Structure 1
């Protein structure tokens, strides 16, 4: 396990890859969604998630971590392709929304950790990024949860 600055760099790099997967999922789902509300929701959040991705990439660079290099870059590519394959098997918008909610919650947890730990370890920029991104992911999670609940009710009350 990494320690010190190496640990911080590794965790920020992990977050960059994790968030990139979420962003790519939203972009894919905005194109694939049959449900207009799902497509609109993805489209609404893509610009903010792109900003978050740029912020994370910039912060990673300030820590001296090179982006997309070596094993981490290859791992990110492989994980992205695995997600693409899994996603292609999900032709149902309901399951896609559920998948996005899982990734949003994972990001929320990461950003909450950054927010709390940043101040404690003397990394105010990490804390600021964590607070901002956690707040915006919280809102996104509420919106996606509302949509999945609506979709659930709609499907459960359809006549056979």
Structure 2
């Protein structure tokens, strides 16, 4: 399998559908669909329009993102948001601490705070943190920055 998570097959309730590709470049979410919507998805899959439920949902999400692209562009222009993946390593944060500067981090996508960044270093150098997407950091660093998350 190519890393795609297949949908759950429990048809007795609103069925949660898990979405994901590879752990390194995606985050799994759960979507609850009503029976009729789920039936439509399954019909499209059985007719070969989509490889599986996850393929359908990823395509639908991408179509909606494209449909609302102007909102994203305007927001990014107003807020100085970094798009994509942004990695913050210990050396970068130590350099900020040495120069007496703090970071206001805004990422649309994936923000990664390296595993070797201590909670104390993170608190000393990160003034605010807003991630639209996913934040990867140690549990200790996430706790240390909890009051700075937007």
Same fold (TM over 0.5): no
Would you tell me which structure has more helix in proportion to its own residues?
Answer: 1
Would you tell me which structure has more strand in proportion to its own residues?
Answer: 2
Structure possessing the higher relative contact order (Cα contacts under 8 Å, 6 or more residues apart):
1
| TMscore range, shorter length | under 0.3
